[in-house]
């Protein structure tokens, strides 16, 4: 049975790439918060949630030195391809599009070596149906967060506009603006959906048409929403 709990952060404290907070509706079980850019067998523990729902997660000192290079090569690909929103191709993204990177879409929860749940980091829980299936659920304005891994420090400052096909009579311009200071290792990435194109009946679900992609700006806006198995 799948149970869904709304987990709101109370009294969030941040330092560097670290976050402390509370998940009030977390089940009364201690769990590890893990990242899986290289699969379950090479998961990386980034934090913990205790039995009272107090969480602490820190990306600052996490690395993937123990992950074999041949495993990394299977999961890492061009930087531009590892953002939730992507320019049409590497040339559209511009400089540094080819730098190897790995995306972490959600934080996973592990208890006693077993996958116990998944955590969505969103400003509005109405984003979750769209995150799970954007073909059938409409997007809403708001912010969500992911994690990005790479092996060199990098500044990203670029934007791209492309045309998104809606139907035979409609194409819509979508714009993605990237402004990030990325470091070697794991990085929080913030996606702010500023505008949503509202489609009509019979068309695809409404989708983001203007998005700003930056470093984490304010962790107190995060709602931690867990789906536990």
DSSP of the chain, one letter per residue? Answer: --EEEEEE-SS-EEETTEEEEE-TT--SS-EEEEE-TT-GGG-EEEEEE-TT-EEEEE-TT---TTS-HHHHHHH-EEGGGGSSS--SSHHHH-TTTTSEEEEE-SEEEEETTEEEEEEEEESSTTHHHHHH-TTTS---SEEEEEEEEESS-EEEEEEEEEEEEEETTEEEEEEEEEEEEE-SEEEEEEEEEEEEE---TTSPPPEEEEEEEEE---GGG-EEEEEE-
Tokens encoding 182: 């990325």
> Is the predicted pLDDT of residue 14 greater than 80, yes or no?
no
> Is the predicted pLDDT of residue 11 greater than 80, yes or no?
no
| pLDDT at residue 6, as a whole number | 40
What is the arithmetic mean of pLDDT over 41-68?
91
> Is the predicted pLDDT of residue 226 greater than 90, yes or no?
no
| pLDDT at residue 61, as a whole number | 83
pLDDT confidence band for 164 (50 / 70 / 90) = very high
* Residues 6+ positions from 128 with CB-CB distance below 8 Å: 120, 122, 225
Tokens encoding 132: 């799970």
pLDDT confidence band for 208 (50 / 70 / 90) = very high
Q: Half-sphere exposure (CA, 13 Å, Cβ side) for 216? A: 23
Classify burial at 93, counting beta carbons within 10 Å of its beta carbon; exposed 0-12, middle 13-18, buried 19 or more.
buried
> Is the predicted pLDDT of residue 157 greater than 50, yes or no?
yes
| pLDDT at residue 16, as a whole number | 52
Look at residues 119, 18, 102, 17 and name the one whose alpha carbon lies nearest to residue 64: 102
pLDDT confidence band for 129 (50 / 70 / 90) = very high
pLDDT confidence band for 70 (50 / 70 / 90) = very high
pLDDT confidence band for 8 (50 / 70 / 90) = very low
> Is the predicted pLDDT of residue 147 greater than 90, yes or no?
yes
* Entry pTM: 0.90
Tokens encoding 37: 């850019």
> Is the predicted pLDDT of residue 93 greater than 60, yes or no?
yes
* Separation in Å, CA 175 to CA 88, 90, 211: 11, 15, 6
What is the arithmetic mean of pLDDT over 141-169?
94
> Is the predicted pLDDT of residue 4 greater than 60, yes or no?
no
Count other Cβ atoms within 10 Å, centred on residue 128.
Answer: 17
The whole-chain average pLDDT of the chain stands at 89
């Amino acid at each position: 049975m799948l149970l869904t709990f709304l987990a709101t952060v109370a009294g969030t404290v941040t330092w560097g790439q670290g976050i402390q907070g509370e998940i009030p509706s977390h089940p009364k079980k201690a769990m590890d918060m893990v990242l899986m850019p290289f699969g379950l067998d090479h998961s990386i523990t980034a934090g913990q949630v205790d039995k009272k729902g107090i969480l602490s997660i820190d990306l600052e000192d996490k690395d993937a030195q123990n992950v074999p290079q041949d495993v990394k090569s299977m999961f890492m690909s061009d930087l531009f391809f590892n953002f939730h929103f992507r320019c049409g191709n590497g040339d559209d993204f511009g400089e540094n599009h080819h730098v190897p990177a790995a995306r972490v879409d959600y934080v996973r929860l592990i208890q006693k070596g077993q996958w116990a749940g998944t955590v969505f980091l969103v400003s509005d829980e109405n984003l979750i149906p769209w995150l799970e299936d954007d073909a059938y659920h409409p997007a809403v304005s708001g912010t969500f967060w992911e994690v990005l891994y790479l092996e060199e420090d990098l500044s990203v400052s670029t934007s791209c506009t492309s045309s998104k096909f809606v139907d035979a009579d409609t194409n819509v311009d979508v714009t993605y603006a990237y402004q990030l200071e990325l470091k070697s290792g794991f990085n929080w990435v913030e996606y702010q959906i500023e505008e949503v194109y509202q489609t009509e009946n019979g068309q695809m679900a409404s989708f983001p048409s203007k998005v700003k992609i930056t470093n984490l700006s304010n962790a107190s806006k995060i709602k931690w929403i867990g789906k536990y198995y």
